[in-house]
Chains A and B, each alone.
Chain A
Amino acid sequence: MAASGRPAEPIPRFDRRFFASDRIASRIGDGELGGKASGLVRARTALAVLRPVPDIEVGIPRMAVIATDVHARFVERNGLAELAASDAPDDAKAHAFLAADLPVEILGDLHALVDEVRSPLAVRSSSLLEDALHHPLAGVYATKMTPNEAHEPGERFARLVEAVKLVYASTCFRSPRRYLRAIGADPASERMAVIVQEVVGRRFADRYYPHVSGVARSWNFYPGSGSAPEDGVVSLALGLGKTIVDGGVAWTYSPLRPAAPPPFASNAARAKNTQTRFWAVNMGPVPHDPIRETEHLIQAELPVADLDGSLHFVASTWDPRSDRLQPGVGAVGSRLLDFAPLLVHQELRLNQVIRELLRVCEDDWGEAVEIELAAVLDHRPAPHARVGLLQVRPMAAASEHVHLDDADLAHPDALLASRSSMGNGVEEGIADVVYCVPDRFDARATRDIAAEVEQIDAELEAARRPYLLIGFGRWGSSDPWLGIPVRWDQIAGARVVVEAMLPHMNVEPSQGAHFFHNVASLGVKYLTVPHDAHPGIDWDWLAGCTEQRSTPHLRHVRLDDPLRVTVDGRTGRAVALHG
């Protein structure tokens, strides 16, 4: 059952004419559905009370859920349990899983599924532990898209089977195993359901993608000025939602003030800080590489989308000579993804739909939620949108009552202070600090820094020593120029993570969905310190601490007295005091 509130409704067994029917969900196998699938099944009833918005249809893309018992049988019959529990490399595990046979009793259903539908399918994990532990595991396991458009059904079937096996294999990859251990769960107890779902989108030449994908949260961990956490926050992107969940550049705004100007000083800055590349399902031929999650994905540049004609509702046009920014794509100039036709001019009331979705889901779950959605938008013959709800999950919202004011931030013993922090409460007992040494930082070396952090993290985690981590730029960024591109498991031992800024690297605070969902749900404090903040970070004090280890870019120091880190979740203020 779902972790909070009422359980998800049961769904019927898969019918081989499923995709020709009007059913939203069906089940292959007799086990459980896992967190993600349960969330979507539950959302069906929440959607029933959604207030309609003109010209916009809202629904859940049809999905078949391969229940958890199939995963268990797959592992058991192929004798994969030992390999799964081993420290073998991920690739070796993936190859072994791909070489194994799926339980024969589901093969006919899977074949029928690809016989019925010839449009891209998303094969996603739906973990049982996610449900049971109330911990988000999205982004931890593999999600694979398959174009599913080959003429020969056998070819489509083969790609689907590979995708299912890769999702199964990802259950025992290194990253999720470390993650599960970090939250006190036994990786061997994980059981995986798999969602096979139609991808919301449209085909443009060899690319298939939605005009808009979005992640919306009813609680904002980074409320800007004039916003409250309960206002929520929305990130929109062109193309597949991978841009957002991987922490790439997306358009982030408050759903209460969708037309509010973004925090950019100029149109040039806006152009520089908006999305320029997007993800799509690659419908063209690709080299066969079934163990690569992005095998059938392609990242394209904005001009390609312009040629596709998919920017009508999502772009403005900037003429650098006149510095005019005109909503839409009617004028000649550089396209800039600010979603102004939707958010400012409301050609389609997408934001209203998002607010409604947040409202009904939050009401149903009884707590703050995060949703993922995708939309296909048509402007001819009349504006019309089809919105697909892809995921609903509860957020771990702030609860402990603490209060900090500016005077607290200016405390003489403050190692660092922040006015933009995530999380809530007090963290004590941290006596280790791992930080990027400002003089040694090089934005070209962020991948190396990630590897150095991982090494130190592993040692500290093994010694069960929580630590405070300070780095420059956006942690978990998929763009190595915007920050340090770590996966969550590489810093899983950190209890406090600090995102410091350098003068030339003042990117927007992070909103990478999966990474920060992990941060939030694990109760990790996440502090952002701009380069010109006063007070900011006391680098001199750190430099005087006892060094445990030094790497080309990092320093690990151990303190005589543990830090006390306090985060006021309501104001976003935070301070770390040394003894």
Chain B
Amino acid sequence: MNSGRPKPYNSFETAQEQFDAVATRLGLDTGTRELLRSPLREYSFAIPVRMDDGSVRVFRGFRVQHNDARGPCKGGIRFHPLETLDTVRALAMWMTWKCAVVDIPLGGGKGGIICDPHNLSLAEQERLCRGFVRQVVRNVGPTLDVPAPDVMTSGQHMLWMLDEFEAIRGEHLPGFITGKPVGLGGSLGRTEATGYGVVFTIRETLRELGLRAEDTRASVQGFGNVAQYAIELLMQLGGTVTCVSCWDQKDQVAYSYRRRSGVDLAELRSITDRFGGIDSKRARELGYEVLDGDAWLEQEVEILIPAALENQIHIDNVDRIAPTVRLIAEGANGPTGPRADAVIRERGIFMIPDLLANSGGVTCSYFEQVQSNMNYYWSRDEVLGKLDLKMTSAFRAVAELAQRENLYMRDAAYVIAVTRVAQASRDRGWV
């Protein structure tokens, strides 16, 4: 019986739909399809944590390893109260494609714990991190599966996890985890990598479109790490960012902040909390227009950068995208729903898909892992120079395929990624 309520968005179903379309295009055999449309391994476990008040709370944790045909799995660990296994599955699959499209020798994984770290003390968070590691220690490691920070996890969480892992294994293994602080096995340039990476792909797109950065305006959803560094580099290239939006923790609602002449990044940073929330009152005092959370989408700009959460551009709001928009760079994972994606494609807006646009983070994580395994660390210039090369090469490969085969950029990226992973699986004799 149909209840009449819309079916809730399921990111794993979206990921599988995307894969199925590419598999059909590539004519993949049934075995390969079966292998790649679901994770190789999934771990779901309970993490008992002694709370500060002496009680014990049991958290639910997941680690999903989608595919490791091309190398150890790589993917973040999320702390989120609404975490689901399906979300983690989808994100693990996207990690597989992302690593493949930028051609780094890693597979895809993801982890999560159902929790809200805002309601946990640091000591409780530490025990939660160590508990997570104890549950998966046999299935992760520098040559198996390499975690990293993700939604609401930080370098501190990674250090606790690393410490627990090394304590159990009895050896130093800094390559177990990435996103570590610089000086403790972290890589210079890691903080900026995802945001800068987004802009490297935007820069290349502008060249494809024959546009100068100086002649473009951008609107950005999100003001976290990715968004801030994307804005920074975009402005350094000469672009103007006229609108940013972010979640307001106090009001529990998102706002968009607009200044038509261009936002002042340093000014906004000075009124932003560590979660990327802008102080709306002070923003208003500084002369910013404070608009609805969705207003970022309807700005008269040339560039849209959704860099917050998944499914932010959907069929109900995609028509609000202004006619001036020439390109969308997906800084977040899965920010565009499939039906909205079809509309964007129909309108001829150049799409830089998430697995390409935001792959700077995982690419730099790979660099960090390489450095950690060698115990030899590169300069920031070296890291960012390599990052630019990797991302630009990946962009060109995707853009050239898209042009040659008359493909949508997302499809071209998937074709390259899935082809590489399928080939590795065949080469190993799995299928």
Chain A interface residues (CB < 8 Å from chain B) = 16, 73, 101-105, 107-112, 115, 154, 157-158, 161
Q: Is B384 part of the binding interface, using a Cβ–Cβ cutoff of 8 Å?
A: yes
Other 16 A-B pairs with CB < 8 A, given A105-B233, A109-B388: A73-B236, A102-B381, A104-B196, A104-B233, A104-B388, A105-B236, A107-B384, A108-B387, A111-B386, A111-B388, A111-B389, A115-B389, A154-B382, A158-B379, A158-B382, A161-B382
Note all chain A residues with C-beta closer than 8 A to B192.
Answer: 104
Across the interface, A108 reaches (CB within 8 A) one of B237, B378, B379, B388, namely B388
Question: What total of A-B pairs shows CB separation below 8 Å?
Answer: 50
CB-nearest residue of chain B relative to A153?
B386
Contact indicator A103/B388 (Cβ below 8 Å):
no
Cα–Cα distance between A28 and B200 once the two chains are bound (Å): 15
Chain B interface residues (CB < 8 Å from chain A) = 192, 196, 200, 203, 233, 236-237, 378-382, 384-389, 392
Contact indicator A154/B378 (Cβ below 8 Å):
yes
Across the interface, A157 reaches (CB within 8 A) one of B200, B203, B236, B385, namely B385
Distance of B357 from chain A, by nearest CB (Å): 16
Contact indicator B200/A108 (Cβ below 8 Å):
yes
CB-nearest residue of chain B relative to A13?
B207
User: Would A16 and B385 be within 8 Å (CB), given that A73-B236, A104-B196, A105-B233 are in contact?
Assistant: no
CB-nearest residue of chain A relative to B390?
A108
Note all chain A residues with C-beta closer than 8 A to B236.
Answer: 73, 103-105
Note all chain A residues with C-beta closer than 8 A to B385.
Answer: 107-108, 110-111, 157, 161
Cα–Cα distance between A444 and B128 once the two chains are bound (Å): 75
Cα–Cα distance between A108 and B394 once the two chains are bound (Å): 13
Cα–Cα distance between A102 and B200 once the two chains are bound (Å): 16
Cα–Cα distance between A107 and B200 once the two chains are bound (Å): 11
Contact indicator B386/A154 (Cβ below 8 Å):
yes
Contact indicator B378/A107 (Cβ below 8 Å):
no
Contact indicator B392/A16 (Cβ below 8 Å):
yes
Cα–Cα distance between A60 and B69 once the two chains are bound (Å): 48
CB-nearest residue of chain A relative to B378?
A154
Contact indicator B382/A157 (Cβ below 8 Å):
yes
Contact indicator A161/B237 (Cβ below 8 Å):
no
Cα–Cα distance between A154 and B189 once the two chains are bound (Å): 15
Note all chain B residues with C-beta closer than 8 A to A157.
Answer: 381-382, 385
CB-nearest residue of chain B relative to A98?
B379
9 contacts between A and B (CB under 8 A): A16-B389, A105-B203, A107-B385, A108-B384, A108-B387, A112-B389, A154-B386, A161-B382, A161-B385
Cα–Cα distance between A103 and B385 once the two chains are bound (Å): 10
Note all chain A residues with C-beta closer than 8 A to B378.
Answer: 154, 158
Distance of B264 from chain A, by nearest CB (Å): 16
Distance of A445 from chain B, by nearest CB (Å): 43
Distance of B429 from chain A, by nearest CB (Å): 33
Cα–Cα distance between A104 and B196 once the two chains are bound (Å): 8
Contact indicator B381/A107 (Cβ below 8 Å):
yes
Distance of A98 from chain B, by nearest CB (Å): 10
Cα–Cα distance between A110 and B381 once the two chains are bound (Å): 10
Cα–Cα distance between A115 and B387 once the two chains are bound (Å): 14
Note all chain B residues with C-beta closer than 8 A to A107.
Answer: 381, 384-385, 388
Contact indicator B200/A161 (Cβ below 8 Å):
no
Note all chain A residues with C-beta closer than 8 A to B388.
Answer: 104, 107-109, 111
Note all chain B residues with C-beta closer than 8 A to A112.
Answer: 389
Distance of A107 from chain B, by nearest CB (Å): 4
Note all chain B residues with C-beta closer than 8 A to A158.
Answer: 378-379, 381-382
